Structure 1
Amino acid sequence: MSDLFDDDEPGAGGNAPTVTISELSGAVKRAIEGGFGHVRVRAEVGRVSRPRSGHVYLDLKDDRAVLASVIWKGVASKLRTQPEEGMEVIVTGRLTTFAGQSRYQMVIESLAPAGVGALMAMLEKRRTALAAEGLFDAERKRPIPFLPKVIGVVTSPSGAVIRDILHRLRDRFPREVLVWPVAVQGERCAEQVAAAIRGFNALQHGGPVPRPDLLIVARGGGSLEDLWGFNEEIVVRAAANSEIPLISAVGHETDTTLIDHAADRRAPTPTAAAEMAVPVRAELRAALAQLDERRVGGMSRMLRDRSDRIRANARALPRPQALVSERRQRLDMVGDKLPAALGRTADRKRLALTRASAALDPARLTARLAEPRVTLRKLSLSRALAGRIERAQNALSKHRLDATILSRSVTQHRERLTARTDRLTRAAARDLPDRRAALASLSRTLETLSYEKTLERGYAVVWRDGELVKDGNTLTPGDHLTIEFAGKVTTPVLVEGEAARPTPETKPKPRAKPRPPKADGGQGSLF
């Protein structure tokens, strides 16, 4: 390249060879790649871009300069730690140019955090972001089942962790265990653990593979870099979204990962996770035996108390013989009186029957029916029938009906008359006794309320000129009075001072016939 651009003479640029842009870019590229074959850079990650191609484009920067960088897809998929903005890293790669934009860039071949402090800073930043989304809230955590039937374990199948879990479960309470083998460290760890959690949740109840009632994600202790797969966002989200209760048992007691915050329970060790998963069967049996002993004792005490109460109540009750003897004696006394009572009852019923049969005597019934028959004969049925027949004959002559129609009409009218006669007879037979009884009752009432009955008790009626005297204050001297006593005996008198002159034996002056008393029983003023 120096041969193309070296010129010892000043102003000799006009004699310099002419090159194309591609040749110039190629020369620059060869110069940079030859001078900086491999470099190791410590810097802070700036902008990070991940297009669909799978490559990663990022900026490495310090306080004074920025270096554009790229991680090809094959390298990016194998990185243990993915670059994030603000992360301090140490990268190894080679410098090259990008002719399309006339710039140089670094092709990164390896990337690692710049010490534990960088990892811790990135971990804290990720924890804060996920906590702000509510993935670590206590309300999201589900209770652990008391005795799960099937337990799913996400761990390495070849490590000591799975043996410790199975051994502890066998000692406490043997359960069915399903193991989903995963890588517990390295670049494939996060993806496989998240897939295992989602796979267990995708199992259906009653399917060929039983769905676990509890999940345990377990791994042994290690450094922060070894446990970094359990800090990845994909694992944390899978644990937080798990519908099956999940216990996190990653690392030892002092190790803390982000999956511990998203899990429903955190166990300090895998062995402790097995202890949380199931109770001790021997302790359960002892507790059941103790409860059964308490149940038997309680039942025994209750039965003794009930027996004592029954015996105490029995002593307070009278003897059955005493309860029955008095009622038996009463029954005997009633039994002795029963024949006489039945005889008296039969006599009363017989007397009542005799009285009722006397009212049903044929002669008496015939006498009661005689008067309705006489009344029925007095009805002008014949005249009504004659008038009806006469009208029918006139109508027949007017319309010149034949003998058949006339005969049918006469027959119909005769049947109607017979039916109405029967109805009238039955009605008279039903109504006449009631009317006769009512008339007799009214006659007795009238006789009781008549003024003649009052005269028979010693009273008299005073008449003046044929009018009834109701008030003595209306009399004046010289008035001629007539006093009527019981039995139609009358005596004429003269009012005040004048001698009473007996009237001749001739009949007294005609006077108006006394009017009968009103229905309300008023008799006027009596002396």
Structure 2
Amino acid sequence: MSDLITESPVSNQPDWTVSELSGALKRTVEDAFGHVRVRGEISGYRGPHSSGHAYFSLKDTNARLDAVVWKTSFSRLKLKPEEGLEVVAIGRITTFPGKSSYQIVIEQLEYAGAGAIMAMLEERKRRLAAEGLFAPERKRRPPFLPRVIGVVTSPTGAVIRDILHRLSDRFPRRVLVWPVRVQGDTCGPEVAAAIRGFNALEPGGPIPRPDVLIVARGGGSLEDLLGFSDEAVVRAAAESAIPLISAVGHETDVTLIDFAADVRAPTPTAAAEMAVPVRGELLAAIQAGGARLSATMARAGERRRADLRSLARLLPSADTLLAVPRQRLDLAAGRLPRALKANAAAHRLQLTRAEGRLSPHRLTQLVAGRRERFTLVAGRLDAALRANANAHRERIHRARERFEGQHARLDPAWRRLLAERGRRLDAIGKLMGALSYRGVLARGFALVRAADGQPLRSAAAIASGQGLDIEFADGHVGAVAGERGPDAPPPTATRPPSPPSKRATRGRGAKAETKTLPNPPAQPTLFDD
């Protein structure tokens, strides 16, 4: 019985590799959806990744779309992503072969209408209120008559002219204007920087520190006033040590800075009225108060004079007060001559008795006895001083001999100690050189660290897309980890690693980073009324 041999059918359809099919799908999707506008709600946003890229999703009631914002595009976004914010995302659709999924690479974000803006503002207001930034106990009363007023507004608009004109009419004060843009993408950062800049001025410095701040802008649409609801502006207003008056828009316009400010004014002109009193009214009140004070002092003086006259009539006369003391003085004057004579006689008797005891012979004996005692004490003192000097001289001689002996032994001992310490130091240096990991790096190995500087000891501890720092013997190289399949063979080093290219490479290559310094804040302009 012959064996039956079965053959598999031959197909004319070519075989695709997984990479070829993924590449073809990627090109098809990108050609069909080169540039799209997608409306949805941001979900799963946790801030930028350590690499600088941002990953989240756009969703609606029925579907979900992965989204990514590359680091280079994230810094140029006018609207930053926020969790739960409804936006219109502008970008291109592409695929991610590593997960067999598609995603949108976002290049620009816009609000999805006024309703989305209001929802974002309500959510931001709730979050900042929960932090206590709008608490009434944080608010302070502006000074009654400030010496210097700081104004944060546009230097070319009608708002600053209205404020200066109103201040000139009511009470001329010195005004410092910090010029900012009052709408647009840079409005919020500039206003926050202006508030913090005024607070950073030193009291008594070349630029006077304001006693009160006014943040002002004319009316506008909800989008025009959005910069004054920026979170940085609200935090700067809440942290301001200088009392702040918010005067943004008309009375019906509400921004988040109004809740963080110490006082909210309906218009910029009303803010100027709140900042200073009316000079004429103040002068009239002072004059009226001065007149009342003068009349009160006159009435008080007249009343006290009347009281003094009443009390003076109740006092006794001088003769009545001095009658008894005068009589006592006359009696004492009559007894004084007899008392003086008796006192003189008693002292004369005491002197006569003392004269008998102080004869010249007695005094001579006393002086001789004292001289003899002084001679004996002087002899004993001289002998004691000589003995004490000899004892000190002997102790000094013995101390000098001990010092010379110790000095002679010190130099050899010091030299032996230095030699021993030098040998120990050389041994420790050789041991450190033998145990240092830099010797291993010099033999061609490399040390891999995470972005926070912690060394990585296994490939399983490295995640895809994680930033790495690779240290060679001659320097450091930054890199980003790519994906590697579980069956892929480990890479083998066939030649020494070449220096990193200046251009960013794909996969595990190093990425060049650039930093742009922020523009310095504008200098304040000085107006004197």
Matched, 1:230 2:228: yes
**One-letter amino acid matched to 2:26:** K
Hey, what does 2:25 align to over in structure 1? 28
Instruction: Report the Cα offset of residue 317 of structure 1.
Output: 5.2
Q: Deviations over 1:243-269 (max 9, x none)?
A: 222111112111111111111111111
Instruction: Give the secondary structure class of the aligned counterpart of 1:14.
Output: coil
Distance 1:231 1:211, change over 3 A: same
Instruction: Report the Cα offset of residue 207 of structure 1.
Output: 2.1
Instruction: Report the Cα offset of residue 131 of structure 1.
Output: 1.1
Structure 1, unmatched stretches of 5+, are 1-10, 361-411, 413-527
Aligned counterparts of 1:235 and 1:224: Cα–Cα separation in 2: 16
Hey, what does 1:44 align to over in structure 2? 41
- Number of positions where the alignment pairs a residue of Structure 1 with one of Structure 2: 342
Hey, what does 1:67 align to over in structure 2? 65
Hey, what does 2:245 align to over in structure 1? 247
User: Which of 82, 90, 93 matches 2:91?
Assistant: 93
RMSD: 3.5
Aligned counterparts of 2:48 and 2:325: Cα–Cα separation in 1: 112
Aligned counterparts of 2:317 and 2:121: Cα–Cα separation in 1: 90
Matched, 1:271 2:269: yes
Checking the alignment, whether the CA contact within 8 Å between 2:41 and 2:60 is kept in structure 1 is yes
Q: Deviations over 1:403-422 (max 9, x none)?
A: xxxxxxxxx9xxxxxxxxxx
Aligned counterparts of 1:65 and 1:44: Cα–Cα separation in 2: 11
Instruction: Report the Cα offset of residue 318 of structure 1.
Output: 6.4
User: Which of 127, 139, 148 matches 2:125?
Assistant: 127
Distance 1:101 1:300, change over 3 A: same
Aligned counterparts of 2:105 and 2:332: Cα–Cα separation in 1: 130
Aligned counterparts of 2:340 and 2:247: Cα–Cα separation in 1: 107
Q: Deviations over 1:455-496 (max 9, x none)?
A: xxxxxxxxxxxxxxxxxxxxxxxxxxxxxxxxxxxxxxxxxx
Instruction: Give the secondary structure class of the aligned counterpart of 1:289.
Output: helix
Distance 1:330 1:18, change over 3 A: closer
User: Which of 185, 199, 204 matches 2:183?
Assistant: 185
Aligned counterparts of 1:128 and 1:273: Cα–Cα separation in 2: 26
User: Normalised by the size of structure 1, how large is the TM-score?
Assistant: 0.58
Aligned counterparts of 2:219 and 2:173: Cα–Cα separation in 1: 26
Hey, what does 1:116 align to over in structure 2? 114
User: Which of 145, 148, 169 matches 1:147?
Assistant: 145
Instruction: Report the Cα offset of residue 106 of structure 1.
Output: 1.4
Instruction: Give the secondary structure class of the aligned counterpart of 2:44.
Output: strand
Instruction: Report the Cα offset of residue 119 of structure 1.
Output: 1.6
Distance 1:163 1:113, change over 3 A: same
**One-letter amino acid matched to 2:56:** L
Distance 1:91 1:313, change over 3 A: same
Instruction: Give the secondary structure class of the aligned counterpart of 2:104.
Output: strand
Checking the alignment, whether the CA contact within 8 Å between 2:216 and 2:248 is kept in structure 1 is yes
Instruction: Report the Cα offset of residue 121 of structure 1.
Output: 1.6
Aligned counterparts of 2:19 and 2:333: Cα–Cα separation in 1: 148
**One-letter amino acid matched to 1:166:** L
Checking the alignment, whether the CA contact within 8 Å between 2:77 and 2:107 is kept in structure 1 is no
Matched, 1:16 2:13: yes
Checking the alignment, whether the CA contact within 8 Å between 1:216 and 1:248 is kept in structure 2 is yes
Hey, what does 1:173 align to over in structure 2? 171
Aligned counterparts of 1:114 and 1:17: Cα–Cα separation in 2: 47
Instruction: Give the secondary structure class of the aligned counterpart of 1:28.
Output: helix
**One-letter amino acid matched to 1:258:** L
Aligned counterparts of 1:176 and 1:32: Cα–Cα separation in 2: 64
Instruction: Report the Cα offset of residue 189 of structure 1.
Output: 1.4
Checking the alignment, whether the CA contact within 8 Å between 1:155 and 1:219 is kept in structure 2 is yes
Matched, 1:290 2:288: yes
More contact order relative to length (CA 8 Å, sep ≥ 6): 2
Instruction: Report the Cα offset of residue 68 of structure 1.
Output: 1.2
Aligned counterparts of 1:37 and 1:178: Cα–Cα separation in 2: 51
Instruction: Report the Cα offset of residue 52 of structure 1.
Output: 4.3
Hey, what does 2:154 align to over in structure 1? 156
Instruction: Give the secondary structure class of the aligned counterpart of 1:299.
Output: helix
Checking the alignment, whether the CA contact within 8 Å between 2:265 and 2:271 is kept in structure 1 is yes
Checking the alignment, whether the CA contact within 8 Å between 1:220 and 1:252 is kept in structure 2 is yes
Hey, what does 1:57 align to over in structure 2? 55
Instruction: Give the secondary structure class of the aligned counterpart of 2:172.
Output: coil
Hey, what does 2:211 align to over in structure 1? 213
Distance 1:291 1:107, change over 3 A: same
Percent of aligned pairs with the same residue? 60
Distance 1:312 1:287, change over 3 A: same
Aligned counterparts of 1:270 and 1:229: Cα–Cα separation in 2: 17
Instruction: Report the Cα offset of residue 13 of structure 1.
Output: 7.8
Hey, what does 2:406 align to over in structure 1? none
Instruction: Give the secondary structure class of the aligned counterpart of 2:167.
Output: helix
**One-letter amino acid matched to 2:87:** V
Hey, what does 1:261 align to over in structure 2? 259
Hey, what does 1:401 align to over in structure 2? none
Distance 1:223 1:334, change over 3 A: closer
Aligned counterparts of 2:333 and 2:83: Cα–Cα separation in 1: 121
Checking the alignment, whether the CA contact within 8 Å between 1:165 and 1:274 is kept in structure 2 is yes
Checking the alignment, whether the CA contact within 8 Å between 2:67 and 2:104 is kept in structure 1 is yes
Instruction: Give the secondary structure class of the aligned counterpart of 1:15.
Output: coil
Instruction: Report the Cα offset of residue 295 of structure 1.
Output: 1.0
Structure 2, unmatched stretches of 5+, are 1-7, 353-368, 370-529
**What are the residue-to-residue correspondences of 1:444-523 with 2, within 5 Å?**
none
Q: Deviations over 1:80-111 (max 9, x none)?
A: 43222222222233222233433221123332
Structure 1 stretches (4+) deviating beyond 6 angstroms? 328-331, 337-343
**One-letter amino acid matched to 2:266:** P
Checking the alignment, whether the CA contact within 8 Å between 1:47 and 1:58 is kept in structure 2 is yes
**One-letter amino acid matched to 1:35:** A
Instruction: Report the Cα offset of residue 19 of structure 1.
Output: 4.2
